[in-house]
Amino acid sequence: MSDRIIETEYSECMKQSYIDYSMSVITARALPDVRDGLKPVQRRTLYAMYELGLRHDRPHRKCARIVGDTMGKYHPHGDASVYDALVVMAQDFKRNEPLAEPHGNFGSIEGDDSAAMRYTEARLQKLTEEVYLADLDKNVVDFVPNFDETEQEPTVLPVRIPNLLVNGAEGIAVGMATSIPSHNLAETIDGMIALIDHPELTSEELLQYIPGPDFATGGIVINQKDLPRIYAAGTGKIKLRGRVEFEPAKGRGGKDKLVVTEIPYTMVGEGIHRFLADVGSLAETRKLPEVTDIANESSKEGIRIVLELKKGSDVERIKNILYKKTKLEDTFGVNMLAIVDGRPETLSLKGILQHSLDFQVEINTRKYHNLLEKEQQRREIQEGLIRAVDLIDLIIEIIRGSKTQQQARACLMGQPSQVTFRTARSEKQAKKLCFTERQAQAILDLRLSKLIGLEILALEKEHEETVKNIARYEKILGSDRAMKNAIRKDLENIKREFGKPRKTVIADAQEAAEVKEEIQEQDVVFAMDRFGYVKVCDVAAYEKSGQAMEHEYRYLFVCKNTDRILLFTDQGLMHQVKVTDIPFQKWKDKGVPVDNLSRYDSKKETILYVTSRGKMAGKRLLFVTCQGYVKQTESGEFDTANRTVRSTKLTEGDRLVYVEQAAQGGQMVLQTETGYFLKFPAEEAELYKKTAVGVKGITLSAGDHVKHVYQLGADDDSAAVLYEGRELDLRRMKLASRGQKGTKPRKGKGV
């Protein structure tokens, strides 16, 4: 048993196993091959459809059958991965050139899932059949055994266009990812033909023919100036915008409309619902008060998202806000990574076209070698039959004098020893015969009807055509220029039949800038109730019924509409919200949760103090933690544009229990959970930065913590608190120093 144990270093074993796994994911799942631009699952699915005979002019077949054949014969993985690949290859809003023709519910551009595979059907597109799979029977690519060695599958499909550019690619491997935008088929072919004619062209020069990406959803690329760098390096960011059109009001009761007719490719799926929600939020928070309604009127005919506007709205300003605040303007990250000779490589535009051209030369060389060989065999047979017509009487005598087909074949090849002839002259003539084995078999298989005069003329005409084909194939194989001319002609035919106009506009546009209207500064009332709902109200209404409202709100104060509201929480964070972001409402309105307007999370934090930046200017804040640390911090420390900052540093397990504006020249009292009180001068809570913990305000017993904090101003006559059912006057409490343990009030005593 010990002889079968292999000792190895565990770390080395894990390292090698992970490398093997990574390379398997990279080459066998996630990344496309530069030659056909397909991932293994896509290639195998298309080949399975080809084997099933699902041509473009034949009936559709259930997707469950396609998925089953793909899994059972070529792709031993989950059915979901195969069906998802088939669905994406059939969706015209994700692929410039869909490779499968769908029948049934294959999902929608708005993110709806496709129906189950047992309900949907598919077949090959004409483009796929003629451009991706047409030459598989001509031995142009290598075939290898499948996973269980019961079938043969192609290592790559003989795709005759740069599919990696035409349909793009997306995939996440281990430690790397690919993201290649789609391009226009006709333009890509133009770029490839230009490279055939001028091999010295650079990626930047090729942009004359392929000006940029062409997405299935259209849209506008707005950073044309960056494209030369992106296509030369193979990486970068393309900025996309949706197309927005203005429709003026029609009729007396009509309204002006902004209509989104094309979306960025990155918005396909859930992005449309998110866009609608974002626009609704902008309208609700008064950043887009001009938008009165939004409706999604998209259909099979195309995208149509309608925003109704108030009369006289600034359309350009609204567009800029939509570009700046929603996904109507987005970036597409480009990383042109593909498998080249079995290894991942980041490619430039020229690199992809050059590899595709090299692949075309390879498959065309094999194709014409195969065709030449077949034509040479056909010529051999044709020449034999033409000669046989002149010797038909002798051949008939040979056949009649032979006992077996083998004897007749041998005689036709010049070995008549076993054949019985009628005359010695015939035997002498038979010895002069020198047909090849292939010719001899063709003569024996010849039907007598082929000896009719017209049939003989057709045979001679067919022979002339065969000779011309052989000459053409030999010329193509013997000349690099002729080979490239053949490839060019092939590409031109594909462009003529399948080329389509460009959908995406390529331009340089100014970056969207939110044009902010000047806000006339005025006083407003900020209100927050005990549930965390906030709103901003009119000052005049507050002055009329303010006192009646004060008991309903936890925080209620007057501030400027240009101010910011600061929220201090027990987790040592400060969140801030612009007053303009808070909805202006009537007193009877509920308001909106402050969670929706800031990064405050009511499930994890508790608000301790709310103020405005204007009210806090020039003041100090007092911070006290449950572990007894105290400090004061200048309000200027919190003058920041960040929506959330750390207001103080906390030790592990600590939290804030008190944040308030510090009273000047007074005292402070700390009360613990177990009933200890410590009173000391407020100035002993020293001034620290917001990044400091502070100093120890009270010494706590094990398990005890600070529960309440009281500030006593210099002018306060009394400060009574309720303690154990009786009033406790903090003014009469003995003054001590910071850092002591404090005392417990005696029963029946006020101090």
Per-residue pLDDT band for 29 (boundaries 50, 70, 90) equals: confident
Tell me the pLDDT band of 751, cut-offs 50, 70 and 90.
very low
The tokens for 425 are 């002259």
Tokens standing for residue 709: 């904090």
The reported pLDDT for the residue numbered 470 is 94
Q: Is the pLDDT of residue 526 over 90?
A: yes
Residue 285 scores a pLDDT above 70: yes
pLDDT tier, 511 (very low <50, low <70, confident <90, very high otherwise): low
pLDDT of residue 3: 67
What pLDDT shows up at residue 103? Answer: 96
CB atoms within 10 A of CB 36: 26
Whole-Å CA distances, 345 to 34, 233, 302, 662: 9, 12, 37, 62
> What pLDDT, on a 0 to 100 scale, did the predictor assign at position 519?
67
Say if residue 428's pLDDT is above 90. no
Specify the pLDDT at position 750. 45
Amino acid at 595: D
> Which residues are designated catalytic?
119
- The pLDDT value given to residue 231: 96
Average per-residue pLDDT for the chain: 89
How do residues 593-645 score in pLDDT, each as one tens digit?
999 889 999 889 999 999 999 998 889 999 999 999 999 999 999 999 899 99
The contacts of residue 375 (CB under 8 Å, 6+ apart) are 466, 469, 470, 473
Q: What stretch of H or E contains 620?
A: strand 620-625
Instruction: Give the best-scoring range by mean pLDDT among 350-364, 373-387, 428-442, 522-536.
Output: 350-364
Highest mean pLDDT range out of 112-126, 245-259, 277-291, 540-554? Answer: 112-126
Percent of the chain with pLDDT over 70: 95
Phi, psi of 640 (to 5 degrees): -145, 155
- Min mean pLDDT across 73-77, 509-513, 659-663, 669-673 is at 509-513
Instruction: Give residue 25's pLDDT band: very low, low, confident or very high (50, 70, 90).
Output: low
**pLDDT at 730 (0 to 100):** 83
Q: Give 338-362 as a 3 state SS string.
A: EEECCEEEECCHHHHHHHHHHHHHH
Query: Which residue type does 488 have?
Result: R
Is 45 a residue whose pLDDT tops 70?
yes
Check residue 183 and give its pLDDT.
Answer: 96
The answer on pLDDT for 514 being more than 60 is no
Average of per-residue pLDDT across 291-305: 90
- Among 89, 95, 170, which Cα is nearest to 500's? 95
The confidence score (pLDDT) of residue 281 equals 84
Per-residue pLDDT, 597:
87
Q: What is the mean pLDDT of residues 131-147?
A: 93
Q: How far apart are CA 336 and CA 484, in angstroms?
A: 26
Q: How far apart are CA 361 and CA 488, in angstroms?
A: 11
3-state secondary structure 173-185: CCCCEEEECCCCH
Q: Where residue 174 falls among pLDDT bands split at 50, 70, 90?
A: confident
**Which of 29 and 28 is assigned the larger pLDDT?**
29
What pLDDT score was predicted for residue 311? 84
Q: What is the dihedral of CA 691, 696, 697, 698, to 10 degrees?
A: 150
**Length of the chain counted residue by residue:** 751
In angstroms, the Cα distances linking 368 to 153, 356, 363, 493, 639 are 22, 18, 9, 18, 75
In this predicted structure, the answer to whether residue 63 has a pLDDT above a threshold of 90 is: yes
For residue 435, pLDDT beyond 70 = yes
> Quick one: tokens of 634?
């200048």
Question: pLDDT per residue over 724-735, tens digit each?
Answer: 778 888 888 888
3-state secondary structure of 225: helix
Residue range 23-37: mean pLDDT, rounded? 80
- Looking at the DSSP bridge assignments, the partners of residue 124 are 100
- C-alpha to C-alpha distance for 109 and 444, rounded to whole angstroms: 63
Above 60 in pLDDT, residue 516? no
Compute the average pLDDT of residues 711-728.
Answer: 76
Please count the helices (runs of H) and the strands (runs of E) in the chain: 20, 34
**Low-confidence winner among 157-166, 490-499, 555-564 (lowest mean pLDDT):** 555-564
Rounded CA gap, 338 and 235, in Å?
12
Confidence of residue 419 (pLDDT cuts 50, 70, 90): confident
Q: Any idea which residue has 């002498």 for tokens?
A: 428
- Identify the pLDDT of residue 217: 94
Residue that the structure tokens 């990155």 belong to? 266
The tokens describing 75, both together, are 């792709």
Q: Would the pLDDT of 14 be above 90? A: no
Q: First vs last Cα of the chain: how many Å apart? A: 84
> Which ranges of 145-233 would DSSP assign to H, the alpha helix?
163-166, 185-197, 203-206, 227-233
What pLDDT is recorded for position 726? 80
The token duo for 79 is: 């059915």
Reduced to 3 states (helix: H, G, I; strand: E, B; else coil), residue 438 is: helix
**Rounded alpha-carbon distances, angstroms, from residue 356 to 32, 353, 383:** 13, 5, 40
| Sheet of 533-538, strands arranged across | 555-560, 523-528, 533-538, 592-593
pLDDT for residue 310: 87
Task: Indicate the SS3 state at residue 673.
Answer: coil
In which band, very low, low, confident or very high, does the pLDDT at 573 lie, cut at 50, 70 and 90? very high
pTM: 0.74
Q: Which amino acid is at 293?
A: D
Q: What's residue 288's pLDDT?
A: 86
Give the range among 186-190, 510-514, 575-579 with minimum mean pLDDT: 510-514
